[in-house]
């Protein structure tokens, strides 16, 4: 099994498993502003895993994987439909803030072979 290593400074690297020895395959992504948490999941129905990143600015972005190449800027996730985002997704928009959610899970809730984001607030 290969390994993806996510560093808090924003660096994401791939390590290939070659008979138990991990070889550095290089940088997959560098996310400006740092990373608080990262989740690996399927946002689309292809065979490649995607990455969701909770940035140090407390916003969630999805980086899709197309044949081993990740989207450069990612896609912002608007989690609060009651608050209109500051166009065009200005950094720090309240609609994109994740701090009101105490738990976050990634699961395929509707069995469509695409994972869903499950959020819990108290």
DSSP label of 80: -
Radius of gyration of the chain (CA): 15
User: CB within 8 A of 24, min separation 6: which ones?
Assistant: 13, 14, 15
Q: What is the pLDDT of residue 83?
A: 52
Q: What is the pLDDT of residue 22?
A: 93
Return averaged pLDDT per consecutive 10 residues of the chain, 122 residues in all: 87 90 88 84 82 82 84 76 50 59 78 80 70
Q: What is the pLDDT of residue 90?
A: 46
CB 117 within 8 A of CB 77: yes
Q: Is the peptide bond before 88 cis (omega within 30 degrees of 0)?
A: yes
């Amino acid at each position: 099994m290969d390994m993806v290593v996510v560093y808090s400074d924003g660096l994401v690297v791939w390590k290939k498993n070659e008979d138990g020895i991990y070889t550095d395959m290089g940088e997959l992504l560098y996310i400006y502003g740092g990373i608080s948490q990262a989740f690996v999941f399927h946002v689309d129905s292809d065979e490649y895993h995607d990455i969701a990143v909770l940035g140090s600015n407390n916003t969630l972005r999805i980086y899709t994987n197309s044949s081993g190449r990740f989207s450069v800027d990612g896609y912002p996730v608007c989690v609060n439909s009651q608050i209109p985002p500051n166009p065009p997704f200005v950094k720090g928009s309240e609609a994109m803030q994740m701090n009101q959610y105490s738990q976050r899970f990634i699961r395929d809730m509707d069995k469509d072979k695409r994972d869903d984001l499950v959020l819990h607030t108290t």
